[in-house]
Structure formats: structure tokens, C-alpha cells
């Protein structure tokens, strides 16, 4: 390893943060090829039991790394992530790398183009290592499909990494990559981040443009980020953010960046265990209270929440209609090939009327207004990042909590999907342990507050010790 500084032993390059790795490559102390080989070695050592990847693109990654090293020797660095390995959730198109959507229907699908978010990562010098595991078409509480899985949290080989960005979260948590892409509709970044003890960022819809996009003005689902620190998450967001006219809800905020250093002490915080409506496991509620007590040593916290009544019904209606619209062709053409979970999610939209859709949008608008009013009093809202702890990977659905039946298979996501409903930026930060399993604190801010959210997360990392911890199996 000719380019490696003594500080970075070859066998431990996977421990570097994205910020450290990018700096080391720019300064010539580590090569991009070194970082790629380290990631591939970690995958080779651990992915047989973590099952975080559907496709590992070793050849293309090595080719890209060698090109990055040649460019740097010629004095040309691509950008802020030059030479840094990243993983991409398999919902997202990657040029020349298989993209399956977690379904055998697309087992041989190799796109000719990148989604915009991938193109921006590559333009910043990032190197795609592979495509991460997920439930079929991102529907389900576990990251498992007929091609791969189930993905395990690196803290317990028998427990789930969550869904639907579970492969990305697990890959970051165990050091296969320092950064990974995810998507979040109802909690698909935040839940796996909680289950895997890392940072999971869902930005304001439009902060990361969504191109291509079937419904141009749709703003419910977002691209998201999985990282081991707030600084790394901010670095990744800084290269993915920015207006693109093909996405009409994308945000024009020239010069927005996150410097990875700023910390912020909020003036006034609110906390709620359940937003008044969400089912939450008793052990999660107890651990959440303890985490809030830690946060209260940093800033004043009041137990309060916006009124979310009617939000569950509104989200379920809008989500069901959106899912059916996106997957009607799969339902009609490949119904028998779909998993039961995917089929259930698609069929939920059948029979929804225009009147029901508009009523749901009206309820959504009312709750949005309540959140905006709430954030005039409080800077951030603290919530659990998940309603339950990582559950056994043999459990196909979350249908009850503490013995109490849930209304349906997505009810357990209420604590995250109510935030999605109103489009507030939020992140999950690891904040504690129960029975040896990690859980996360969800921090919600007003629209466009990502920089302040990340600054507050850095403060919690430093003052409260809310940081990623390496799994024992490393």
C-alpha cells in the first residue's frame, strides 16, 4: 500500500470516517484503490452473515478507483468525496451496475443511466461499491427478498437491520462503507439507522432532487443518507443537494453546504414519546425518556407535541394511492411473482376515490400548519426513531407491540411516517442500548433546517456521547 500513511494501517482503513478518508486521499496519504480494497475486504469477511448487499460491483469500483488515483496524480480532484467508497440502495438506478429493486422480476436489469443523486455522488468523486439489500420494491419491515437476505443488524446476527434501507444501514454500521444512500417514505432511513446504531438523515423533500420522477410534484418520499457521524452525513448531503429543474419541488438554495464542524445549542426543545397517537413499545419509551434526560443537560426540554390526530388515516390513504399508481403494472402483470408484503401494499390503493384523496390532503394540510405553528415555539422536536427494537429476522411483520395488536402492518411506523406526512427534515442519532441492541433518537426540525439539525447532532455526539459504536463482530 504505497500511498498509505503509517496512521492508516491497511487492515483498518475501513474505520476511517468519510471526512477522514476524503482528506487522506486528497493529501496523498491513502489511495482510492486502498479504500476500495478495504471495503471489498470487509464485504468479503462479513456480508455472508450481514447480507447487506444484493450486488457487489468489485470490477467497476476498482476501475473507478484507479481512474481517481490517476486523476489526482495529474492534479485533478473530482470533488469533496474523491476516492471515497459509497453504497447505493437497490431502489436507485446505477449505470452499468445491476439494479433489481429487490425483485426477481428485475434480476437482470442493468440501467444505462444513473439516477441524479448517484450522478452527483460520482461527480463529487465517490466510488460506488455496490447495491444494498432491501425488501421487494421497498415494502416490508425486514430487508429480505427472493434474491438476498434477510439483512442482520451487525449487533446481533439473528436480529433485523430493519427496512427498507436495512442493507445500507448495516453496511455502514460494520464498516463496509463509510457512507450509504437510502430512501425514506415512511421511515425507511430512520428505522434502519435506529436498528443499526448510526445516523440516518431524511432531508426536507426537494433538498436532494428526485430525478427521474414519475409524479413530478410528489413530495412524500425522499432520498436519504446513512452515516456513522453527523459530519459524514453533512458531507454527503452537501454534494447531493441543490436545485434541478426536472424536479419542480427541488430546492434552490445556492451555496448551501455543511462544513462538518459547526455545532448548535438549541434554545428550546420539545419531546414526545408517541405524538399522541403512535404505538410505542414500553422498553423503547423507557429508554427514550432516559435519552431525553441526557439531552436536557444540554438544552431545555418540554414535553409537548403538535396535534397529529387524523394523520395516520391521511398517510395511509396517500401512501396506498401512490404505491398503486407506481406499481399497477407489476400488480397486473406479475401478481403471482410478488411477495405477499409487496402485493398487500399495492392492493391497498384499489378503490380509493378522488374524494378520499382530497380529504387526506386536507388533513395533511391541517397537520402541516400545526407543525409550523409548533416550530414557532420550539426549535426541534425529539421522538423515538422507531417504535420497537430490532426484532428476530424470522419475524415477517410487526403486527403487535407489547401484546397489543396493531391496526395494520405499517402501523408500527406511525412515529416516523407522521413526520414524512408533513415533510419536516429529521434525523436519527444513536442514543442508547436495550438488551444489547441499539436504538435511536429522532430529531425533527422545521423546513430547510438540515444544517441546524446536523449541528445539534454534533453537539449531542460531543456532549452526550450519542455516537456510533463498532459491533463486537468486527
Q: Give the active site residues.
A: 89, 164, 188
> Is residue 183 helix, strand or coil?
strand
Q: Which of 270, 460, 465, 295 is nearest to 383 (CA)?
A: 270
Within 8 A by CB and 6+ apart from 269, the residues are 295, 299, 300, 301, 302, 378, 379, 380, 381, 382
CA distance 264 to 151: 35
Contact 269, 303 (CB under 8 A): no
Q: Which of 386, 380, 388 is nearest to 304 (CA)?
A: 380
> Is residue 185 helix, strand or coil?
coil
222-227 vs 301-303, strand pairing mode: unpaired
CA contacts within 13 A on the Cβ side of 50: 29
Residue 53, strand partner residues: 132
Q: Phi and psi of 378, rounded to 5°?
A: -125, 145
CA distance 461 to 454: 10
Contact 175, 20 (CB under 8 A): no
Within 8 A by CB and 6+ apart from 304, the residues are 270, 271, 272, 374, 377, 378
Q: How many CB atoms lie within 10 A of CB 6?
A: 6
Q: How far apart are the first and last CA of the chain?
A: 22
Amino acid at each position: 500500500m504505497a500511498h498509505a500513511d503509517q496512521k492508516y494501517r491497511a487492515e483498518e482503513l475501513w474505520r476511517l470516517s468519510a471526512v477522514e478518508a476524503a482528506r487522506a486521499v486528497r493529501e496523498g496519504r491513502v489511495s482510492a484503490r486502498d479504500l476500495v480494497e478495504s471495503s471489498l475486504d470487509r464485504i468479503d469477511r462479513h456480508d455472508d452473515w450481514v447480507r447487506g448487499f444484493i450486488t457487489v460491483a468489485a470490477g467497476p469500483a476498482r476501475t473507478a478507483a484507479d481512474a481517481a488515483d490517476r486523476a489526482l496524480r495529474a492534479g485533478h480532484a473530482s470533488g469533496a468525496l474523491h476516492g471515497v467508497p459509497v453504497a447505493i440502495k437497490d431502489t436507485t438506478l446505477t449505470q452499468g451496475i445491476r439494479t433489481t429493486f429487490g425483485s426477481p422480476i428485475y434480476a437482470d436489469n442493468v440501467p444505462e443511466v444513473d439516477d441524479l443523486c448517484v450522478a452527483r455522488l460520482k461527480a463529487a468523486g465517490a466510488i460506488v461499491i455496490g447495491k444494498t439489500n432491501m425488501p421487494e420494491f421497498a415494502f416490508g419491515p425486514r430487508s429480505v427478498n427472493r434474491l438476498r437476505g434477510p439483512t442482520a443488524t451487525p449487533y446481533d446476527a439473528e436480529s433485523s437491520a430493519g427496512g427498507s434501507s436495512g442493507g445500507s444501514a448495516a453496511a455502514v454500521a460494520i464498516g463496509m462503507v463509510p457512507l450509504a444512500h437510502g430512501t425514506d417514505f415512511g421511515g425507511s432511513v430512520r428505522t434502519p439507522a435506529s436498528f443499526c446504531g448510526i445516523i440516518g438523515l431524511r432531508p426536507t423533500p426537494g433538498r436532494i432532487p428526485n430525478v427521474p420522477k414519475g409524479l413530478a410534484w410528489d413530495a412524500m418520499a425522499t432520498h436519504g443518507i446513512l452515516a456513522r457521524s453527523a459530519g459524514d452525513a453533512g458531507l454527503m448531503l452537501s454534494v447531493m443537494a441543490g436545485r434541478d429543474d426536472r424536479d419542480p419541488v427541488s430546492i434552490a438554495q445556492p451555496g448551501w453546504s455543511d462544513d462538518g464542524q459547526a455545532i448548535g445549542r438549541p434554545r428550546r426543545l420539545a419531546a414526545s414519546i408517541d405524538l399522541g397517537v403512535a404505538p410505542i413499545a414500553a422498553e423503547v419509551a423507557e429508554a427514550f425518556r432516559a435519552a431525553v434526560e441526557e439531552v436536557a443537560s444540554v438544552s431545555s426540554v418540554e414535553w409537548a407535541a403538535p396535534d397529529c390526530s387524523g394523520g395516520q388515516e391521511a398517510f395511509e390513504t396517500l401512501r396506498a394511492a401512490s404505491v398503486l399508481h407506481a406499481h399497477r403494472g407489476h400488480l397486473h402483470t406479475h401478481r403471482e411473482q410478488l411477495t405477499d408484503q409487496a402485493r398487500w401494499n399495492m392492493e391497498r390503493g384499489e378503490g380509493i376515490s378522488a374524494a378520499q384523496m382530497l380529504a387526506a390532503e386536507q388533513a395533511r394540510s391541517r397537520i402541516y400548519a400545526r407543525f409550523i405553528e409548533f416550530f414557532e415555539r420550539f426549535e426541534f422536536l425529539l421522538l423515538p426513531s422507531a417504535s420497537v427494537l430490532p426484532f428476530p429476522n424470522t419475524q415477517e411483520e410487526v403486527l403487535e407491540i407489547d401484546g397489543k395488536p396493531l391496526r395494520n402492518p405499517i402501523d408500527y411506523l406511525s412515529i416516523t411516517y407522521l413526520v414524512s406526512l408533513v415533510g419536516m427534515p429529521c434525523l436519527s442519532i444513536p442514543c442508547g442500548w436495550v438488551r444489547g441492541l441499539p436504538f435511536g433518537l429522532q430529531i425533527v426540525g422545521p423546513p430547510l433546517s438540515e444544517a441546524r439539525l446536523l449541528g445539534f447532532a454534533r453537539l449531542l455526539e460531543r456532549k452526550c456521547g450519542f455516537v456510533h459504536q463498532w459491533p463486537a463482530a468486527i
